[in-house]
Amino acid sequence: MRKFWHELASPPHFYRLAGRLSPWFGWVAAVLIVGSGWAGLFWAPPDYQQGDAFRIIYVHVPSAWMSLFVYVVMATAAAIGLIWRIKLAHAVAASCAPLGASFTFLALATGSIWGKPMWGTWWEWDARLTSELILLFLYAGYMALRGSIDDTARADRASAVLALVGVVNVPIIHYSVIWWSSLHQGPTVTKLDAPSIAVSMLVPLLTMSFGFMCYFAAVLLARVRGEVLERERNARWVRQYSGLS
pLDDT, tens only, 89-111:
999 999 999 999 999 999 999 99
Contacts of 31 (CB under 8 A, 6+ apart): 211
- Whether 39 has a pLDDT exceeding 50, the answer reads yes
Mean pLDDT within 67-86: 97
Reported confidence tier of residue 51, pLDDT bands at 50, 70, 90? confident
- Whether 210 has a pLDDT exceeding 50, the answer reads yes
More confident residue, 170 or 9: 170
Is 1 a domain residue? no
Reported confidence tier of residue 245, pLDDT bands at 50, 70, 90? very low
What is the greatest pairwise CA distance in the chain? 66
Closest CA to 155 of 227, 204, 218: 227
Is 165 a domain residue? yes
Is 4 a domain residue? no
Is 3 a domain residue? no
The secondary structure of residue 47, as a DSSP letter, is B
Contacts of 183 (CB under 8 A, 6+ apart): 119, 124, 126
Is 2 a domain residue? no
Contact 214, 32 (CB under 8 A): yes
Mean pLDDT within 27-44: 97
Contact 37, 58 (CB under 8 A): yes
C-alpha triplet 179, 194, 62: angle, nearest 5°: 65
pLDDT at residue 234, as a whole number: 86
Is 207 a domain residue? yes
Contact 96, 73 (CB under 8 A): yes
Phi, psi of 232 (to 5 degrees): -105, 20
- Whether 203 has a pLDDT exceeding 50, the answer reads yes
CA dihedral 111, 61, 31, 103 (to 10 degrees): 70
Mean pLDDT within 200-220: 97
Is 81 a domain residue? yes
* This prediction's pTM: 0.93
Helix pair angle (57-84, 127-148), 10° resolution? 40
CA dihedral 212, 213, 215, 221 (to 10 degrees): 160
Reported confidence tier of residue 42, pLDDT bands at 50, 70, 90? very high
Closest CA to 41 of 204, 199, 163, 173: 204
Residue 91: HSE in the Cβ half-sphere, 13 Å Cα cutoff: 22
Closest CA to 229 of 12, 73, 8, 17: 12
Mean pLDDT within 183-188: 66
pLDDT, the chain, mean: 91
Is 7 a domain residue? no
More confident residue, 244 or 81: 81
Number of domains, the chain: 1
Reported confidence tier of residue 155, pLDDT bands at 50, 70, 90? very high
- Whether 154 has a pLDDT exceeding 90, the answer reads yes
C-alpha triplet 219, 105, 18: angle, nearest 5°: 10
Domain around 211:
13-43+52-186+193-242
pLDDT at residue 68, as a whole number: 98
